[in-house]
Amino acid sequence: APSGAMTSSLTHSAFRLGASHAGFRTRCASKTPRAFARTSLVVRNEGTGRFIVGGNWKCNGTIESVAELCKGLNAGKIADNVDIVVAPPFLYIDQAVEALDAKRFKVAAQNAWVEYTLQDPTHHYDSDTGAFTGEVSAEMLEDLDVPWVILGHSERRTLMGEDNVTVGKKVAHARYHGLSVIVCVGESLEERESGETLDVIFAQLRAVADEIDDREHSSWGSQVVIAYEPIWAIGTGKVATPEQAQEVHAAIRQWLADNVSEEVSKATRIQYGGSVNDGNCEDLAKYSDIDGFLVGGASLDADKFVQICNSSVAHYKAVGRL
């Protein structure tokens, strides 16, 4: 059964995470090169942030459908212990901002441009030119008071060729311009099956941590959210089991403790994304290191999305904060 206690343990299935990380070696009695052996994982760094749910509308919507969705969201009865961020396509951001109840819903962009070839020791990455046809900059989002942005989503990594370095620069650039960031990490099915899950995710995290200077590290808890989205589960209907998701979330939190700080580890919110819906959200939310969700398809249905937001109640009860 799930537990919110920081000293709780979970029994491992043969979930292939990766075998080369000292932090996990200290918590695993033994493991094969391809999978953790059956043992116990001690959850040492349960998060302390508010539950946060994001809705990524992706490339979906019309003026009419966005109006109906916003109307349904405003009508929903949502617990007051959850932060909610929705990300319409760029063309509908202004409509969503005008239509949604600003006290309950914040709006995000789905991407922000950075000139990835820039080398900048200040980690600001401001371009001297606007010769980037079709792109939207963090400066523009700042100018429009759009408070959040999603960066590093797997669809941009795989379809647009964004690598870890580019994503790290985007996060630094967005933070410099005052945007809060949901930064996505996750492995492909091939990487998972070959035992590279943690290698992949830790490299993605390192690219971000290297670009955020020490002054910015203190803001991770409230303004940099990590979304773990196993690529093999996005839009496929396949979902990692709650135990599997918790294992990766705990590994991410431990990496933050070891490589950034214990304070950042506890304060940073880690979302799970990958075919989250109204039927599985409560089971996932009961685990201590799952601090919320980044929702795709189900975020286009107001009733389903409201129910997912309300899984915050199950989370707080499970971890003893309600």
Give the residue numbers marked as catalytic: 153, 229
Q: What is the CA radius of gyration of the chain?
A: 19
Cα distances (Å, whole numbers) of residue 285 to 152, 310, 311, 318, 319: 23, 10, 6, 8, 10
Cα–Cα dist 110/89, whole Å? 7
User: How many Cα atoms within 13 Å fall on the side-chain side of residue 145?
Assistant: 6
What number of CA atoms fall less than 13 Å from residue 26's CA on the CB side? 9
Q: What is the DSSP string of 122-173?
A: TS----S----TT--BHHHHHHTT--EEEE--HHHHHHS---HHHHHHHHHH
Contact 138, 174 (CB under 8 A): yes
Rounded to whole angstroms, the Cα distance separating 35 from 17 reads 6
Element (H, E) at 99: helix 93-99
Half-sphere exposure of 187 (CA within 13 A, CB side): 22
β 40-42/180-185 pair status: unpaired
Q: Where are the beta strands (DSSP E) in the chain?
A: 9-11, 40-42, 51-56, 82-87, 106-109, 148-151, 180-185, 224-228, 270-272, 292-295
Q: Are 167 and 208 in contact (CB under 8 A)?
A: yes
Query: Any idea what DSSP says for residue 36?
Result: B
Task: Report residue 144 as tokens.
Answer: 């429009």
